[in-house]
Homo-oligomer: A and B are copies of this chain.
Amino acid sequence: MRLFDGGRVPNARRTRIFLAEKGISIPLVPVDLAAFEHRGAAFTAMNAMQRVPVLELDDGSYLSESIAICRYFEEVQPEPPLFGTGARERATIEMWNRRIELDFYLAIQAVFRHTHPGMAKSEGHQVPEWGEINRPRVMAMLAMMDRELADRPFVAGERLSVADITRQVAVDFLKPIRIAVPEDHAHLRRWHGEMSARPSALA
Which A residues lie at the B interface, using CB under 8 A? 48-49, 57, 63-65, 67-69, 71-72, 75-76, 86-88, 90-92, 94-95, 98-99, 103, 106, 125, 127, 129-130, 133, 144, 148
Chain B residue with minimal CB distance to A77?
B87
**B67 close to A98 (CB less than 8 A):** yes
Give complex CA distance A87, B92 in Å. Answer: 21
Chain B residues with CB under 8 Å of A106's CB are 106
**B49 close to A63 (CB less than 8 A):** no
**A72 close to B49 (CB less than 8 A):** no
**B94 close to A71 (CB less than 8 A):** yes
The 8 closest A-B pairs by CB, nearest first: A75-B87, A72-B91, A68-B95, A130-B130, A68-B94, A65-B95, A65-B98, A68-B91
**B92 close to A68 (CB less than 8 A):** yes
**A48 close to B95 (CB less than 8 A):** no
**A76 close to B87 (CB less than 8 A):** yes
Known contacts A65-B99, A130-B130, A133-B127; decide if A72 and B88 are in contact (CB<8 Å). yes
Give complex CA distance A94, B65 in Å. Answer: 8
**B144 close to A48 (CB less than 8 A):** yes
- A91 touches which of B69, B144, B148 (Cβ 8 Å): B69
